[in-house]
Amino acid sequence: DAGVIQSPRHEVTEMGQEVTLRCKPISGHDYLFWYRQTMMRGLELLIYFNNNVPIDDSGMPEDRFSAKMPNASFSTLKIQPSEPRDSAVYFCASSPDHYGYTFGSGTRLTVV
């Protein structure tokens, strides 16, 4: 298995632009999680899905953030409009249960 695949690895965008991050989870994993990592706040859970259904989005910072999972093999995290404070590394993780997560390599987002 290729593991959790995220794209792009790096994204630099201007403030106000729309940003879309992509994730392909491991086949057969029913849970998908989006996390954001910064030096100040560490890893923060943004949202997670179970069987493609959003279960908890209480970590999504504000309405500028949205996430979808149209099928079991694909999820997106969208930021519109982006702001400099959104700069961080965004991780997607998948799991067959709540005992072990497999993380992707992350997307490093820089908003200038």
Partner 1 sequence: TQLLEQSPQFLSIQEGENLTVYCNSSSVFSSLQWYRQEPGEGPVLLVTVVTGGEVKKLKRLTFQFGDARKDSSLHITAAQPGDTGLYLCAGALYSGGGADGLTFGKGTHLIIQP
By CB under 8 A, residue 25 contacts partner 1 = no
User: Which amino acid is present at 63?
Assistant: D
CA 78, CA 95: separation in Å to the nearest integer? 22
Closest by CA to 52, choosing from 27, 32, 35, is: 32
| Peptide bond between residue 8 and the one before it cis (omega within 30 degrees of 0) | yes
By CB under 8 A, residue 52 contacts partner 1 = no
By CB under 8 A, residue 65 contacts partner 1 = no
Q: Which stretch binds partner 1 (CB under 8 A): 14-22, 50-58, 63-71, 72-80?
A: 50-58
By CB under 8 A, residue 18 contacts partner 1 = no
Q: Can you tell me which of 26, 29, 75, 101 binds partner 1, judged by CB under 8 A? A: 101
Binding site for partner 1 (CB under 8 A): 4, 31, 33, 35, 41-45, 48, 50, 55-56, 59, 91, 93, 95, 97-106
